[in-house]
Chain A
């Protein structure tokens, strides 16, 4: 009987000790905010385009952390979906076509002689990448442009084009080799191959 009591006593004691440690750790190492949102936000492309249906990337990050699908980000494309899937330990699903399709990186270009200086695009730009003043010609700072498309719609004279960013010698990258192809399997001549040839 005493052994049983002793065991129970020790277990209770241990429970109290560890409970105390956990309680202390909870207070001492308390994390403010939701760290997962920051991590998700870091993976998103930050185009702030709103194609996911949220006003910016962070709101979408918050939505994802609250259970929204991870395939609503066309600018990020499959790579972002994969990264999110890895982070959240969920299955990588194909991009949801309802929110747009993955396209080559583009920047907005204002046809400057057609610009009437209405400043509507300036107000629409989520990253302040358009320069100009009322009744003055506007122009896009192409380095800052995220290619979000949001300035195109409000333009009353339709003088904004989304131009694909072409590769130049500085941005060019090597192609990935084809890898082991089916033709390369036939490198060694076999009887079967000669039979087939006849």
Chain B
């Protein structure tokens, strides 16, 4: 036997050994317990995956659970029996928590499954042997339970210098390894040889403390006998020399660097228990199903070492070792230094349980209360890892985890030496454990947060991409649309198909109308800007106006292109356009100069002596004259162009004349106003007179234009379409005339108030205007009759005429509605302004509202009649022309009506809600028009919906069937439709009654004062509801029977 160099490690303590008690008796073999509890997680890493289920019969050594991933292990049946359950049981863990366990009820037969030892382990592939060890469920039995095959694999990274077998067993009380060496010396050596074969280390050393002389002697004798190269290194007794890193340091003098494993410096460490388990597996084919455990402590009458089946409950072992329950104070699994207290004796022995310590109160007194640290430094002296326990304590206490990590907290082996020596009884290790788990938790949550962030960002990126794709698709859809239209139009135009060109023409017309309105608006703005003398704005607006005018021109040109194909061709000469453009420009110039002039004049008024200003005014006047001349010229050109052009040109001229007139009127008004303010101003008077003259001239011009228009229009009046146009024109004229009358009236009033001198002229004007308005109205009445006569004679134009009429009616309807809206708005405004009811009644608005409503009602009654008439006409016309477009139009119309009705309902509801919010009483709400309106709208909606159902059907059907007869399908559907309508109405009535009842009930809750009244109302409503429901039922039955 040769001596082995022994080194030393820093610190360490010498607690009382207490090892003798458990060595008095020979190795015991407790009998089978009633049940074995086999936790699925007896090792470090993932819990095993059970292969059996409750009720399975298993043989001794049969695999119960297999590894679940790399860092996991197998589990075998320690004896034969029945699996009664796989359930949560308390396990041997410091937390005292439960975990999933396989419960095995032994049958007492101890029936082994067929054992297949790995006899050819020396010739077998290394990987196969490791896999075999894994399947045998072998894990490190020293304390951590690290799966052995993983450790051996890790040891293969670099050539090993030392293979150390840990037999130190430094913790007090524990003698399991000592007993194991004594009992199974040969098995141990054979196991070591198997492992040495696998790892091929240059030196194999058994490290053993000098307090186990018997074991040392047995080992030496056997090794000498076998001429083995395995050395036995006896180390002095010192806690914790059994720690892996401490033993390595003792035997090799090398320190395992912080954060590394022994394998990184070419050293492998294995516990003696593991070596014996490896022997059993390889030589006997027995999986790891039992282990040596020390039963000790003063509470036991027969402390001893036992070979115990895994899963045996601690209580069974305590009974075997004759525990005195009255003396048992604390039950510890593991040693007194590193073990943990068991809350219950029901927990099972697992692969890593080397000791059960049943201590009395005297043996392991409760820890003394923690005192303040006195900075004695004894912990630092005791620490086997050369840490600074005091520093770590501060950092742990103040949760400064980062600093604690900087002080190598994770190198702490939790041996408890520092706590042991601490005079203030500070549970230092517990602080460190807490800090460690906090840091681990933080790291885990950081990893999780990172993952969550990644996933969140990935999701966001995906969503953005989807949105972008959608947008791109939408754009792609939008782009080809016009080209498609164009391509559609082109061939059709080539084929000179009238409907297509009609469509195109319609579209263009609409565009043109829009462009024109814009232009008009801009011109208006320009005018107002000129009046208000904003020079920059004027320039800006002027630009816009020219742009818009160009656009209009383009559209008109396009229109002209399309128009020849259209049935009603309207030649629009370009010359006139340019002429009118020029005219416009000239006018704008003139207006600008006028504005400037005015400004200058004003300044001049303020400072009459300023020669410069005078000069300027003169210049401007000259400019104005020039502009006027230009304007006249342009006007003449336009007139020439207009004359050469047929009717539309005349129309344009008319418009122009009207605009001139309006302009003149405005100017006149302004001048009059000024005059009213300063009646003595001769200049102003002169100006007013001038302007009046101008207005008159414009008026005559307008008259002329109208006359010429009439002349040009008359020849065309034979055509119905022209009739409609004229009608429109006349109406517009009438409206203008009326407006003029109103204006003059106003002016007259003002003049009367101010007692202005030109009262007479204004009166005259008023009379003129009135006369004109009446004339126009008269004229309007006449042509109204004309279409009717033409309608009768020409059936093909009939539909056009009726369509026009239809449109007219609709426009009227819309106007009436707008009127109602306005009246309502005004009423609401009045109410808001806090006017009393009487005031409101006295104002004209209620009357107006009533009028408008009546008109609307009239129109609405007229509309269906007209619609039916037009429908009839179209159906007769359908014999000559395809009816599909009209039908489609009808459909559209209906839909629009439907939408309007729905919107009406919504509005009514909104208003009701608003009224309620404003705190109006129920009566007031009932008295207001809204509930009534809501009801009406709902009824209308019902009507519309019922009419739509049957009518949309034929529209959807093939045109050919419609050609055959439009009315037939409608007739077939008619009774059903009416029934459906009725049902719908009843349903609505029921729903309405319900809703109202609900509302009232709610009200009841809010206003208990009116309770009785409200309740009566509710009862009434419920009656109503019941009635409606009854009717509904009847109707439904009727429908079913049909």
Contact = CB atoms under 8 A, between A and B. Distances in A.
A194 interface: no
A180 B397 CA distance: 11
Given A175-B434, A178-B370, A45 B449 contact: yes
A192 interface: no
A127 B99 contact: no
A30 interface: no
Q: Which of A174, A184, A187 gathers most chain B CB within 10 Å? A: A174
A46 B456 contact: yes
Contacts of A56: 456, 460
B453 A57 contact: yes
A171 to B, nearest CB: 8
Interface string A141-172: 00010100000000000000000000111111
A68 interface: no
A92 B1001 CA distance: 52
Contact of A180 (B370, B448, B450, B451): B370
B1005 interface: no
A47 interface: yes
B812 interface: no
A3 to B, nearest CB: 53
A144 B452 contact: yes
Contacts of A33: none
Interface in B429-470: 430-431, 433-434, 436-438, 440-441, 445, 448-453, 455-456, 458-460
Interface string B368-396: 11111000000000000000000000001
A128 B431 contact: no
Given A175-B434, A177-B430, A177-B431, A46 B452 contact: yes
Interface in B394-450: 396-397, 426-427, 430-431, 433-434, 436-438, 440-441, 445, 448-450
A173 interface: yes
A172 B455 contact: no
B91 interface: yes
B438 A184 contact: no
Contact of B438 (A168, A172, A173): A173
Contacts of A45: 445, 449
Contacts of B368: 187
Contacts, number: 88
Nearest to A145: B452
Interface residues of B, number: 37
B456 A177 contact: no
A179 B369 contact: no
A2 interface: no
A151 to B, nearest CB: 13
B434 A181 contact: no
Contact of A176 (B97, B434, B451, B456): B434
Contact of B452 (A48, A176, A180, A183): A48
A184 B369 contact: yes
A174 B430 contact: yes
B56 to A, nearest CB: 25
Interface string A41-76: 100111110000000110000000000000000000
A176 B459 contact: no
A181 B372 CA distance: 10
Contact of B456 (A127, A173, A174, A181): A127
A178 B793 CA distance: 109
B95 interface: yes
A47 B455 CA distance: 11
A45 B456 CA distance: 12
Interface in A117-136: 126-129
Nearest to B367: A177
B207 interface: no
A93 B453 CA distance: 26
B758 to A, nearest CB: 68
B93 interface: yes
A56 B452 CA distance: 11
B339 interface: no
A124 to B, nearest CB: 11
A127 B434 contact: no
B94 A146 contact: no
A169 B456 contact: no
Nearest to B463: A123
B954 interface: no
A129 B441 CA distance: 21
B242 interface: no
Interface string B503-542: 0000000000000000000000000000000000000000
A172 B430 contact: no
Given A169-B93, A174-B430, A174-B437, A180 B372 contact: yes
A177 B424 CA distance: 14
A45 to B, nearest CB: 6
B455 A168 contact: no
Contacts of B433: 173-174
A129 B455 CA distance: 9
B41 interface: yes
B441 A173 contact: yes
Nearest to A48: B456
Contacts of B450: 46
Nearest to A186: B369
A48 B455 CA distance: 10
B455 A144 contact: yes
B608 to A, nearest CB: 62
B372 A173 contact: no
A181 B431 CA distance: 15
Given A126-B459, A177-B370, A180-B372, A169 B97 contact: yes
A177 B445 contact: no
Contacts of A174: 94, 430, 433-434, 436-437
A177 B458 CA distance: 42
Contacts of B459: 126-128
A76 to B, nearest CB: 10
Interface string B802-832: 0000000000000000000000000000000
B404 to A, nearest CB: 13
A187 B369 contact: yes
A41 B449 CA distance: 10
B453 A177 contact: no
A168 B430 CA distance: 19
A171 B97 CA distance: 11
Contacts of B397: 179
Nearest to A178: B370
B453 A46 contact: yes
A100 B515 CA distance: 56
Contacts of A127: 452, 455-456, 459
B740 to A, nearest CB: 60
Contacts of A128: 455, 458-459
A187 B434 contact: no
Nearest to A146: B452
Contacts of B95: 167, 169, 172
A171 B433 CA distance: 13
Nearest to B93: A169
A178 to B, nearest CB: 7
B375 to A, nearest CB: 14
A184 B370 contact: yes
A41 B452 CA distance: 12
B489 to A, nearest CB: 42
Contacts of B445: 45
Contact of A183 (B369, B396, B431): B369
Interface pairs A-B: 8 shortest CB-CB: A173-B437, A184-B369, A46-B449, A174-B433, A172-B95, A127-B455, A46-B452, A176-B434
27 contacts: A44-B449, A45-B445, A46-B450, A46-B452, A48-B456, A56-B460, A57-B456, A126-B456, A127-B459, A128-B458, A128-B459, A144-B452, A146-B452, A169-B91, A173-B434, A174-B94, A174-B436, A174-B437, A175-B430, A176-B430, A176-B434, A177-B431, A179-B397, A180-B372, A181-B370, A184-B370, A184-B371
Given A48-B452, A174-B433, 9 more contacts: A44-B449, A144-B455, A172-B93, A173-B433, A173-B440, A174-B436, A177-B434, A178-B370, A180-B372
